Structure formats: structure tokens, C-alpha cells
Amino acid sequence: MSWIFIALLVGILVWRMKPAKGIRTMSTDELKNILKDKKIQFVDVRTPAEYKGNHIKEFQNIPLHVLNNKISSLKKDQEVVVICQSGMRSSKAAGQLKKAGFTNVINVRGGMSAWRG
């Protein structure tokens, strides 16, 4: 009976970790190649303290917990790249953006933990 519970728990974890439908991902190496593109909106969804400690200068800080309130500051017709510390919060943020009508959303895999800039 306990194996059913473990299998269910693993299934839920896998389901929660998969990217939302229609959201692309990119590596931090791929990110380096597009940072100078002024048509792309770069959003860091970590807390202000995390952002202050270390960030990529092209990214604006819009913490995940206030993203829905600040979503109008972003342009729906422009590409949005989101990052966090590990990729989990930015995945949630990307899902919120898709639900709000953004069509071109990219999540950075591994987040700042994987960044070597």
C-alpha cells in the first residue's frame, strides 16, 4: 500500500516540475547570446534581496509574489525571458504570463544557480 502513496507523490512532483504548455526553456549559455537584444523583456522573479545580492544587469526585478499586479508594465507582444534562482519560480511566472495572454515566454533552466556570467 505504501508503494502506491510513493508512486502518487512522485507523479505529483514530476507533474509540478514540467513546464507549462507553450513555454519554451533555454540554458544560461543560450541566454548569453540574446542579452543585448533590446526587443526582449528580461524579468527576474526573485525577491529584492536575492536580486540585490546577484543579478544580470539586463533583467528587471519583478518578484513572483507581485507579478500579477505588475503584469501591465510588460508588453504582451514582445518576448519575455524569466529567471529565478533555480528555475521553479520562473516556471510559475511563465505560466502566469501565458495565462495573461503573453505568447512568447521563455524560462531559463537552472536559473541564477546555473549562471556563469
* Strand pairing category for 80-83 and 60-61: unpaired
Mark whether 84 is an active-site residue.
Answer: yes
E-state strands within 7-97: 24-26, 41-44, 60-61, 80-83
Catalytic residue among 81, 84, 94, 97: 84
Say if CB 101 and CB 75 are below 8 A apart.
no
- Residues with a known catalytic role: 84
